Amino acid sequence: MSTNPLFVTATTGTTELLAEELRAFGIADAREAFGGVEGAATLAQAYRCCLWSRVGMRVLWRIAECPVANDGELYDGVRSIDWSQQMGETDTLAVDFSGSVTGIDNSQFGAQRVKDAIVDQFRDKTGERPSVDRAAPALRINVHAGRGAAVVAIDLSGDSLHRRGYRGGQGAAPLKENLAAAILLRSGWPAIAGAGGYFADPLCGSGTLPIEAALIAADIAPGLTRQRFGFERWRQHDAALWDELRAEAVSRGALDRITRGRICGYDRDPIVLRDAEANAARAGLGERLAFHRCELAALPKAPAPLGLIAANPPYGERLGETDGLRELYALLGTRLREGYLGWEAAVFTGNPPLGRELGINARRTHRMMNGPIECRLLRIRIEAGEFDRPYEPGRPPPIDAETARARPGAQMFANRLRKNFKGRSRWARREGISCFRIYDADMPEYSFAIDSYQSDPDGFGGRWLYVQEYAPPATVDREKARARREEALSMIPEVAGLAMDAIYWRTRRPQKGGGQYEALDDSRERVVVEEAGLKFLVNFTDYLDTGLFLDHRITRARIRDAARGKRFLNLFCYTGTASVHAAAGGALTTKSVDMSRTYLDWARSNMEINGFRGDAHRFVQADCLYWLEMDDGERYDLIFLDPPTFSNSKRMQGEFDVQRDHIALIRSTLVRLTPGGLLLFSTNFRKFKLDVEALADVLVTDITSQTIPLDFERDQRAHHCFEIRLAS
């Protein structure tokens, strides 16, 4: 059976799950891409996506791709398609347009140009023309333009797949059905359900999580309750094939797997509970789900030894202030610890700092979006070893220092740290360096990175230590790791000659999605440190990284040396430290681009405390990928491109993976480079491999070894750095 290019859109943070679904539907080459998953599919496989995908949103059947440089070429390209193969002249249509084309200022105008091309073709051929019906068209058409081309597709879903058709009342803060399913899939519910486990939602609202849990447990296709799909009036629709797939789905459903009481929802509000019961009935689950009016404080204990408890508590954005929610999260944590030992827990929150109030360590976190709100899914194993002891955010955990100091390992660690401290401090004073790394897992069993930050190179001002513990792998005994942590902490203040309140602490775990930039707290406590005669604000409490990447010290110096008389562009600018160095080096102009308003404000502050103000230094809040695509014609002589390893931020068009996407990103950036200009490309992805063959037409120089500072010499993969120039 022939295949066709297919693209299924997904909520940020769920594309990995969607790719697994599509491969299960037989789409062997399903692969993650910006905003969703793409692959080659038969019509039957595309129908399966519509019927069975729990996390997908729209199923786009690609019918054409045409080159476009302006709105006229977009019109001509769309008009060149034979639309009589897709719809009739009396049918209705709706157009969704995204992307950028010269001459098109907004998506509405882009959609209008596409619509005009289609209706003009019909009118010229038949004398009749289709009309627009945005609510329930016979055919929904999707067009995305970018990088000189437009992709035209038929939206087979018609409406987003998250609209299963069962939801009426939805409470004050609805959770979309596909997001609820993604939470459950991420949290291991299919395996728990398959083993006979139970499910509970203590804050169930209108019941979306329990209903999706039941659909998964009973192997019920989520599309069975939908009233219509976008392909039903499409001229290529195979009604017999669709009926066959629906019949198969009906036969697979096994409601007998859900005995009453196995899946429960609890809430204090009787109105939303009535909505939940009505939603469950519309989903065909009848009386099999149990919903109970219950205050969180009276939540019943687990009815079985195996299960998943999942909750989407309020975030403080719409349902209350953060201060008033701390007690709620703390109470939820208490109920979990006291009543659900041995269970798995999934807490989905748009306010990650509140997650600490649970008092239980999350073994994994995932970034996902709930509408416009960037959220975290906290995956928790409810067992005593994961219960937190009280601590101050950003500060070392409490220890019995006297006992730890008496152990032999503490003295061995202290001797090594003392030797490093003496040598590195002497080197730093000689080189005029104020912020530097002292220790980096020199003794592998004491797996820490210890950085010294000072307000001046002679150390007469403020001085702080920032200690990062590399989280031990699962193969390392938890108690041994804790003992080594205590031994190190007992000696660090003594060796450094600092009080404990000048020492900050973080645990560094493998990050995905730019996790080092995620807010861990909200104290906004900043101090001023010095680098090469410049001042920078750093923060030791709110983020995993401080705002000043020490391994990029030489890279920043190279930018400063190269910047005189240049127009400088800093993409993914973070806190703008490279922009400060460029300005100090005599750049004519600087432009700093980042998605985060927090970091742009930080970058602006870094510029201002060094005396750089005015129109010559601009700051742009934008997704760098989209900003590059929307070429404004401005060109730059010096560009610093330091993207995250991976990102699926709420403002980004889709997921970004630096290994997969670096060539497209570099190419887009080179468009902004003047002839004779220099692009510095850097990445902290340790396993990064530059695709040199794909850049054979430009001049690339690997300067990684020249940009790794002496204090990072133990880690030659701290970053990778390349100079890239256009061939003359």
Average pLDDT of the segment spanning 550-576: 97
Lowest-confidence region among 61-70, 195-204, 480-489, 698-707: 480-489
Position 421 pLDDT exceeds 60: yes
Identify the pLDDT of residue 519: 46
Q: How confident is the model at residue 531 (pLDDT cuts 50, 70, 90)?
A: very high
- 521 pLDDT more than 60: no
| Per-residue burial over 55-80, b = 16 or more CB atoms within 10 Å of its CB, e = otherwise | bbbbbbbbbeebebeebebbbebbbe
DSSP state of 561: H
CA distance 682 to 692: 15
- 147-166, pLDDT tens digit by residue? 889 999 999 999 999 999 99
The domain defined by 4-155 carries CATH number 3.20.20.100: no
CA distances from 709 to 338, 481, 553, 714 (A): 50, 29, 7, 10
CA distance 305 to 308: 10
Query: Could you name the CATH architecture of 177-219+254-386?
Result: 3-Layer(aba) Sandwich (3.40)
pTM of the model: 0.60
Where exactly are the structural domains of the chain?
4-155, 177-219+254-386, 401-509, 530-726
Could you tell me the pLDDT band of residue 651, with boundaries at 50, 70 and 90?
Answer: very low
Domain at 530-726, CATH homologous superfamily = Vaccinia Virus protein VP39 (3.40.50.150)
- The predicted model gives 571-597 an average pLDDT of 96
Fold of 401-509: Transcription Regulator spoIIAA (3.30.750)
Question: Residue 181 pLDDT more than 60?
Answer: yes
Express each pLDDT in 684-721 by its tens digit.
Answer: 999 999 999 999 999 999 999 999 999 999 888 899 99
User: Where is average pLDDT lowest: 25-34, 425-434, 457-466?
Assistant: 457-466
Q: Do domains 177-219+254-386 and 530-726 have the same CATH topology?
A: yes
Mean local confidence (pLDDT), 232-246: 97
Percentage of the residues of the chain whose pLDDT score is greater than 90: 74
Do 697 and 672 contact (CB within 8 A), yes or no?
Answer: no
pLDDT of residue 656: 85
Quick one: average pLDDT of 415-441? 94
Q: What percent of the chain has pLDDT over 70?
A: 93
The rounded Cα 564 to chain-centroid distance in angstroms is 36
Residue 171 predicted with pLDDT over 60: no
Average pLDDT, rounded, for the chain: 90
d(CA 131, CA 110): 17
Q: What is the pLDDT of residues 130-152, one digit of tens each?
A: 999 998 999 999 999 988 899 99
Check whether 452 has a pLDDT greater than 70.
yes
Low-confidence winner among 223-227, 505-509, 579-583 (lowest mean pLDDT): 505-509
Q: Average pLDDT in the 353-382 region?
A: 88
